[in-house]
Amino acid sequence: MVDILDEVPLSAMRDKWGWFVALGILLLICGGIALGNLFIATVASVYYVGMLMLIGGIVHLAHAFQVRGWEHILFWVLSGLLYTVAGILAFANPLLASEALTLFLAIALLIAGTFRVWVGRKLKPERGWVWIVISGLATAVAGIAIALGWPVNSLWILGLFLAFDLIFQGWTLVVFGLVLRR
């Protein structure tokens, strides 16, 4: 298996430490802006997902005419139309789309947390299994909390996730760049 970091000399990354710090600061600023207006950040998230779905739908439709056999073409056309319609609806009604995405997020967190608890319990004889269970419980509780606040929290929850992601990525890159500098 090829490891991309094996191909990049550490000295080349050390020479660019300032770029990591600058990108981290930019992401921190963007995260702060998103945190300052969670509603706008949520709408931006919905538009981003809508754009990806629209592009995916168009690619599916183009691919449909590259396959042979009606049963395959029908599957790709229906799939492409579904993606395209979902993307258009995200742009046409971002609030409804944010409600749907927030509900899906709550369900996904609940399922992922429950699965993580199950995996942690299966690892019970091993040291550290309890941390996997605690992580799963935290994820499941987050899913339940989001579901209990739905649909009202759909106006800000996606923006909050985006803001936290930008802030954590920003701090990570700043610290990484400063460590490279040493």
Tens-place pLDDT, residues 59-110:
989 888 887 777 778 888 898 999 999 999 999 999 999 999 999 999 999 9
The answer to whether residue 11 sits within a structural domain is no
Q: Say what the pLDDT of residue 70 is.
A: 72
Work out the number of other CB atoms within 10 angstroms of the CB of residue 6.
Answer: 7
The answer to whether residue 4 sits within a structural domain is no
The answer to whether residue 34 sits within a structural domain is yes
The answer to whether residue 5 sits within a structural domain is no
Which domain range does residue 29 map to? 16-180
The answer to whether residue 9 sits within a structural domain is no
C-alpha torsion angle, residues 180, 28, 101, 88 (rounded to 10) = -100
The answer to whether residue 10 sits within a structural domain is no
Interhelix angle for 17-36 vs 157-181, to 10°?
160
The answer to whether residue 108 sits within a structural domain is yes
Q: Say what the pLDDT of residue 85 is.
A: 94
| Encoded amino acid at 161, one letter | F
Number of structural domains in the chain:
1
Q: Say what the pLDDT of residue 66 is.
A: 82
Q: Say what the pLDDT of residue 156 is.
A: 93
pLDDT tops 70 at residue 126 = yes
Q: Say what the pLDDT of residue 99 is.
A: 95
For residues 173 and 27, the answer to whether their CB atoms sit within 8 Å is yes
